[in-house]
């Protein structure tokens, strides 16, 4: 198993999107009064994951 730059970007984007999903779910189920902050942070993680996915193959 070789880890080239594309595979590293793919794995990093997947992990970051998992963190974004976890933040959104935590805000929805555990901290209802602070949910908007958790939703915004989760969406930010999705944006960073999208940018990593877009960079795949270009760097």
How many other C-beta atoms can be found within 10 angstroms of the C-beta atom of residue 38? 20
Per-domain boundaries in the chain: 5-55
Nearest-angstrom CA–CA distance, 39 and 35: 6
Q: Which residues have a Cβ under 8 Å from the Cβ of 5 and sit 6 or more positions away?
A: 56, 59
CA dist., res. 1 & res. 21, Å (int): 28
pLDDT tens, position by position, 1-59? 788 888 888 899 999 999 999 999 999 999 999 999 999 999 999 999 999 888 877 77
Residue 5's pLDDT is 84
Q: What share of the chain is helix, strand, coil (3-state, %, to 5)?
A: 85, 0, 15
What local confidence, expressed as pLDDT, does residue 31 receive?
94
């Amino acid at each position: 198993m070789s880890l080239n730059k594309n595979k590293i970007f793919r794995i990093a984007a997947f992990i970051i999107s998992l963190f974004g999903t976890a933040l959104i779910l935590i805000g929805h189920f555990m901290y209802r009064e602070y949910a908007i902050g958790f939703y915004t942070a989760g969406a930010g993680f999705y944006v960073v994951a999208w940018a990593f996915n877009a960079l795949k193959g270009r760097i």
